[in-house]
Amino acid sequence: MTLPELTPAQRTEVELLARGKAEKSRTLRELNLPETPESAHTLLLRLGLWSEARTPYADRLGVTLGHLTLDVPDFAPEERLDLTHLGAYAIDDEGNRDPDDAVGIEPLEGGLTRLWVHVADVAALVPPDSPLDLEARARGATLYLPDQTIGMLPDALVEKTGLGLHETMPALSISLDLDADGNADAVDVALTTVRVTRLTYQGAQARLEAGEEPFVTLARLARASQELRESEGALSIDLPEVRIKADEHGATVTPLPKPEMRFVVQECMTLAGWAAAIYADDHDIPLPFATQADPSREVRGDGLGVQWARRKTLARTRFQPSPGPHSGMGLDLYAQATSPMRRYLDLVVHQQLRAALTGREPLDGRAVAAHIAQATLNADATRQAERLSRKHHTLRYAAAQPEREWEAVVVDRRGPQATLLIPELAYDLPLSTPAPVGTTLRVRLVDVNLPALSMRARTV
């Protein structure tokens, strides 16, 4: 068909529909095109009015794309435990701009080691129902898109609270006294002052491989903790992960390396969430406790097909103001407590713990439940916008390499239809093939359709 030139009014009409801000478009109807956001998106691309870099998914889901600019207060003087004599390390991916947790150890008598997990004391500057708190609750979580990051809280707050951004920093610190087998003898929570060094995962891994402390001890404690949790039914899912970056000129998809120190940090954060939940339960503090039902079935074995099937058995994590078991973690109670800059419910955990530590009355269970309901709804939209935007830019990356052959693994079957997983893209798509689960195929990716977020695989 011959493409028309749209008047400004027609362009506005079509753009609104493409962004999910309108239900119908007279212009599309007159062009005999379906009145859908995908058709509007297709038309705008064909007319050159939108570039392939444009992603409308956050708009469609009602996710805020504006940066928060509310005023951020300074830390008020208060009594804190001075831990600046202990080493602490904020270990993140290269380029991370919101360092909100750090780890360290303290040797104790009797063969015990105190694991310290320090977390940025965001709640000191964001009390419940303050303007910053209300805005963070409305967003639910920081929005991480391949081409930009929209913080749940202002950049100025990250600058004031981020661990390792200044010589010493206030923190809310969670401790566990662990024996050599990873058993916890005691847990505690305290307001502290810490001195933090920032490292990349690669930098920390190099120091672990060189036999340096505290990395060797941290790795030993993490392995022991994982073994204990697995004995209680914890499930480890090991599927490919990628980093996606995009701009007007194109997109890149890079497999995410998995050095041991990445697992070590993740295990320390899990232990911190467990300890925070224990502390709150012991002190009758309502929190957004994270719970998960038992898997729908048991899946044994290894390989990508098994990992894929195991993930599908997991129930969704639910949040409630009273403790309950988290099956996937292998823990009798758990709370996410280490990302208060990025996840609103982590911030609520900190607000509740801080209230108890400073002699104020925490929110009651009913208020916590209300916060859970609102923040979960908003965070779900944020995560969906992230997922769709990542898929969009993955398609851009694939479309730019039409002759490239990709390695793909059959991870599932339903009759004649199989699901392929391309590890280099962490991307799955259907293919009609008799190949059994676990088979590795060579494929080309064809018929990329950005508005429909679809493409096909063709075996080579």
Q: Which residues of 330-340 are buried (b: 16+ CB within 10 A; e: fewer)?
A: bbebbbbbbbb
Give the model confidence (pLDDT) of 227-241 as tens digits: 999 999 999 899 999
pLDDT of residue 99: 92
Expressed in percent and rounded to 5, the helix, strand and coil fractions of the chain are 35, 25, 40
The architecture of the domain spanning 401-459 is: Beta Barrel (2.40)
* Dist. CA 114–CA 106, nearest whole Å: 5
Main-chain dihedrals φ then ψ at residue 24, nearest 5 degrees = -140, 160
Q: What does the pLDDT look like over 257-300, one tens digit per residue?
A: 999 999 999 999 999 999 999 999 999 999 999 999 999 999 98
Average pLDDT value for the chain: 96
Q: How far are the Cα atoms of 150, 152, 259, 362, 385 from residue 69, in angstroms, in the given order?
A: 11, 11, 37, 28, 22
Looking at the whole model, is its pTM more than 0.85? yes
CA distance 454 to 460: 19
- Nearest C-alpha neighbor of 288 from the set 314, 319, 265, 266: 319
Question: At a CB cut-off of 8 Å and minimum separation 6, what does 317 contact?
Answer: 290, 291, 292, 326, 328
Closest CA to 382 of 349, 344, 346: 344
How does residue 1 score in pLDDT terms, banded at 50, 70 and 90?
A: low
Give me the pLDDT at residue 2, please: 66
Domain 8-50 identical in fold to domain 401-459: no
Class of domain 8-50: mainly alpha
Cβ-based burial of 344 (10 A; exposed 0-12, middle 13-18, buried ≥19): buried
Domain boundaries, the chain: 8-50, 81-393, 401-459
> Which DSSP symbol is given to 87?
-
Can you tell me whether residue 185 is helix, strand or coil? strand
pLDDT-derived band at 5 (thresholds 50, 70, 90) equals confident
Residue 415 Rama label (left phi>0; alpha psi -120 to 50; beta): left
Q: What is the pLDDT of residues 42-92, one digit of tens each?
A: 999 999 999 999 999 999 999 999 999 999 999 999 999 999 999 999 999
